[in-house]
Structure 1
Amino acid sequence: MNFQTIQFSIRDGIATVVMNRPDVMNALNSQMRAEITQALTDLGRDVRCVVLTGSGRAFCSGQDLTDAAAVLDIQATLRDEYEPMLRAITDCPVPVIAAVNGIAAGAGANLALVADVVIAAESAAFIEAFTRIGLIPDAGGTWFIPRLVGHARAMGMMLFADAIPAKQAEDWGLIWKALPDAEFAEGVATAARKLASGPTGAYRKIRTLVSASMDNDLEDQLKLEARLQGEAGKSADFSEGVQAFLQKRPARFTGR
């Protein structure tokens, strides 16, 4: 794949997608959205985990406001470009880590929050910056943020558009973990390696269950758990996990 606005690589089962427009803090234009979507949609069977991050000092500063065509019809841009990109993450067959190396603002913040796990450097911050330019949060922010941090904090983030430092975001439950900058790269790499060597099929089922739990009542959730656990119990990974446990050795999962 030949990309212009992102860097894409695969090593040891880990696909790394780096947003690479550092001169504009990795602002999202139409081409970058298309390339992120393509990279995450065309993953090969050897990929077991995805890391999404940014180059330079920012993760992503949100919509590129100089991208005139996208700004001219925001509704169409959200429908035709943002939604496929976000769906490529939520429908990804393997876990997606957002490695937030710096500022994540506007749609850039919500691009991070749609990932399965968000790990941020302590110098990073999250900003629902939309009201600063007279807009409302989009790119899934109004769905994800209340579910992550509750009504009061979601409203505060969206109305005031203040920067939420990574450590505060961790304390609120907005993200999984904030790491000291010196430990950030290795922390992300360690997490990616762990997920890449894990039971990929079980991870997919966990995502399905957690997403469904937002709308299911307990009875429906228990039924879904039972069905998906039944499927997991027939997998090669479950058989390997049991054998590894009995033999007191690390499991060698294959994602099947």
Structure 2
Amino acid sequence: MSVRTELRQDGLVRITLTRPEAGNAIGLETARGLLDAARACVREPVRAVLLTAEGRSFCVGGDLREFARYQGPELERHLIEVTDALHKALRLLAALDAPLVAAVQGAVAGAGIGLAAAADLTLAAEDATFTAAYTAIGYSPDAGVSWFLPRLLGPKRALELLLTNRRLSAAEAAGLGLVSRTVPVGELSAEAERTAEALRGGPTAAFGATRRLVAAGLDSELGPHLDREARALAVAASGREGREGVAAFLGKRAPRFTPLTGEFSVPADM
């Protein structure tokens, strides 16, 4: 097993990469494990997702030892299988209402950068380093790296990292906006857990609407986006969470946002 998924009854899901001996490199088994984990998140009333990894490194990228076992058309077919599973997992996680928190340490390279960038909040241990690494071995990006980096860093900085493979420290990554903030190495796990717990107790539907608004706003003109905001706000305000939030504010108490209920289905192509 290269990915472990823990579904807690309170709505917090922990997804852990469990190949520390291989730097949590992503091959077909790991990609499919991430897809299974994402599908589990879709099926359950999830309120927050925490993505972590065992060992010294978060994820060193693709499993090159596995890829080297294939040649020519077989390699192409294998990589399409790997990226198909990995990319479906990323799409499912992005579509959740529940926010995604990532805790990264050590080497974060290739697809590992994609996983870190896909999170809404990314905490990086002070020892973390970030390297695109793709072009260093004659590859092009996957895992959304060529989509996330230009949006987080701007196209010029993204291309610098993708073309030169310059290694970033955790502090540099935080300064550029690739991660949310840095955390002392020994405090990463506890701080990530606290962050995910805080989000777990929040207004899940409002979080989902906010995630979608931010994503849509990156590719939208102002006018249509203002209309989208107005519709989303009206729905949120009239819903259970909005009513509870206002009642708590007026009553000078902490809000009690209750878990969402109901079954969710995985789209047929996922």
Could you state the TM-score of these two structures normalised by the residue count of structure 2? 0.88
Counterpart-to-counterpart distance in 2, 1:56 and 1:21:
8
Aligned to 2:182: 178
The 5 Å alignment of 1:92-103 reads: 92-103=96-107
Counterpart-to-counterpart distance in 1, 2:44 and 2:92:
16
- Structure 1 residue ranges (4+ consecutive) displaced by more than 6 angstroms after TM superposition: none
Aligned to 2:54: 55
Q: Percent sequence identity over matched residues?
A: 37
Q: Give 2:89's match in structure 1, choosing from 85, 92, 96.
A: 85
Q: Give 1:122's match in structure 2, choosing from 105, 114, 126.
A: 126
Q: CA deviation at 1:243?
A: 1.1
Give CA deviations for 1:140-194 in whole Å, capped at 9, x if unaligned: 1111101101122111111111221111111111111111113222211111011
In structure 2, do the counterparts of structure 1 residues 70 and 21 end up closer, same or farther at CA, with 3 Å as the change threshold?
farther
Range moving further from structure 2, 14-23 or 136-145: 136-145
Counterpart-to-counterpart distance in 1, 2:96 and 2:55:
26
Q: Are the equivalent residues in 1 in contact too, given 2:58–2:105 (CA < 8 A)?
A: yes
Counterpart-to-counterpart distance in 2, 1:28 and 1:22:
11
Q: Are the equivalent residues in 2 in contact too, given 1:121–1:181 (CA < 8 A)?
A: yes
In structure 2, do the counterparts of structure 1 residues 248 and 208 end up closer, same or farther at CA, with 3 Å as the change threshold?
same
- Residue 27 in 1 paired to residue 31 in 2? no
Aligned to 1:210: 214
Counterpart-to-counterpart distance in 2, 1:149 and 1:178:
17
3-state SS of 2:168 partner: strand
The two structures, once aligned, show a CA RMSD in angstroms of: 1.7
3-state SS of 1:9 partner: strand
Aligned to 1:104: 108
3-state SS of 1:233 partner: helix
Q: CA deviation at 1:238?
A: 0.8
3-state SS of 2:61 partner: coil
Structure 1: unaligned runs, 5 residues or longer? none
Q: Are the equivalent residues in 2 in contact too, given 1:70–1:77 (CA < 8 A)?
A: no
What letter is aligned with 1:33?
Answer: A
What letter is aligned with 1:65?
Answer: L
Q: Give 1:143's match in structure 2, choosing from 142, 147, 168.
A: 147
Q: Are the equivalent residues in 1 in contact too, given 2:135–2:163 (CA < 8 A)?
A: yes
Q: Give 1:16's match in structure 2, choosing from 14, 19, 30.
A: 14
Aligned to 1:243: 247
Q: Give 2:37's match in structure 1, choosing from 29, 36, 39.
A: 39
Aligned to 1:67: 66
Counterpart-to-counterpart distance in 2, 1:83 and 1:182:
31
Counterpart-to-counterpart distance in 2, 1:111 and 1:14:
18
3-state SS of 2:98 partner: coil
Q: CA deviation at 1:244?
A: 0.9
In structure 2, do the counterparts of structure 1 residues 88 and 102 end up closer, same or farther at CA, with 3 Å as the change threshold?
farther
Structure 2: unaligned runs, 5 residues or longer? 261-270
Higher RCO (CA 8 Å, separation ≥ 6 residues): 2
Counterpart-to-counterpart distance in 2, 1:140 and 1:105:
13
Q: Are the equivalent residues in 1 in contact too, given 2:17–2:53 (CA < 8 A)?
A: yes
Range moving further from structure 2, 86-95 or 186-195: 86-95
In structure 2, do the counterparts of structure 1 residues 18 and 134 end up closer, same or farther at CA, with 3 Å as the change threshold?
same
